[in-house]
Amino acid sequence: MRRKLAAGNWKMNGTSAALGELAALQEAHPDPAVDLLICPPATLLSAAVQEAHNGPLMIGGQDCHEKTDGAHTGDISAEMLRDVGARAVILGHSERRAGYHETSEDVRAKARTAHAAGLMTVICLGESLIQREATNTLDIIGAQLSLSVPDTSTGENLVVAYEPIWAIGSGQTPTPDQIGEVHDFMRTRLERRFGAGVGRSVRLLYGGSVKPENAAEIFAVSNVDGALVGGASLKAADFAPIIRALENA
């Protein structure tokens, strides 16, 4: 059975004052029945790892470079993330694909390096509204999935997050049927590529305007193994009920 995963992506939000939210989150869920991951900005990684005290809360990065080291001003390597105590990294978020022209090939190269460094990768995929309206969603997701996911993937080091671009930060979410269609499709594709054993153990997250109010409905969808949460992960008071909904799913 896949262990469920509640992941928070803080994006470019949070200074040291936000560490109190991690303390509050751990207080609300001292012994969670699901895996917990928070990906704060890089400036908070070290302090966040300390705040997590080797407990069940995992800390992760939001990106890493495809190279192991070198002259790449402003970038962070997978090894550096591991060194600071991060256990995972988000890769290929649509905000990076759009803002930094990251391609699926770039994402695959980064994921390979992250796997070699011992990190779990949360690889993000998602269609735009124009692509959905043109009924191209499964073609887009299929191409992103096969190109972004490297052959180094296993059931332990690969998590895939389906994040429709139009649902991110918009308050709009796909219907449960729409989410289920994409998640079932991703599961079939992963089983075909990696075999049933690995394909069935990769966790598939949904992301895009997940809130305490809609979490239970989303977590009831087949092949949804958790969520990648943006805005509602910033405050423990919002994220804690989402975690509770996942524990009860």
Q: Which of 126, 123, 21 is nearest to 62 (CA)?
A: 123
Selected range binding ligand 13P among 80-88, 162-170, 178-186, 189-197, rule: CB under 6 A: 162-170
Identified binder of ligand 13P from the candidate list 4, 6, 9, 158, rule CB under 6 A: 9
3-state secondary structure (DSSP) of residue 32: coil
Considering beta carbons, is residue 22 or 90 the nearer one to ligand 13P? 90
Half-sphere exposure of 19 (CA within 13 A, CB side): 15
Identified binder of ligand 13P from the candidate list 25, 228, 242, 245, rule CB under 6 A: 228
Which parts of 77-106 interact with ligand 13P (CB under 6 A)? Answer: 93
Considering beta carbons, is residue 166 or 194 the nearer one to ligand 13P? 166
Whether 121 contacts 88, CB under 8 Å? yes
The stretches of 36-93 forming alpha helices (DSSP H) are 45-52, 78-84
Selected range binding ligand 13P among 16-24, 67-75, 130-138, 163-171, rule: CB under 6 A: 163-171
Decide if 93 is catalytic: yes
38 binds ligand 13P (CB under 6 A): no
**Helix (H), strand (E) at residue 70:** none
Please pick, among 29, 51, 66, 93, the residue that the annotation labels catalytic.
93
Q: What is the DSSP string of 194-209?
A: HHHHHHHHSEEEEESS
Decide if 163 is catalytic: yes
Residue at token pair 């043109």 = 134
**How near is the Cβ of 136 to ligand 13P at its closest, in Å?**
21
Identified binder of ligand 13P from the candidate list 114, 229, 240, 242, rule CB under 6 A: 229
Which parts of 182-211 interact with ligand 13P (CB under 6 A)? Answer: 207-210
φ, ψ for residue 206, nearest 5 deg: -100, 140
**How near is the Cβ of 123 to ligand 13P at its closest, in Å?**
12
Distances, alpha carbon 196 to alpha carbons 155, 188, 214, 223, in Å: 10, 9, 31, 14
230 binds ligand 13P (CB under 6 A): yes
50-59 in b/e burial notation, b at 16+ Cβ within 10 A?
A: ebbeeeebbb
**How near is the Cβ of 162 to ligand 13P at its closest, in Å?**
11
The binding site for ligand 13P (CB under 6 A) comprises: 9, 93, 163, 168-169, 207-210, 228-232
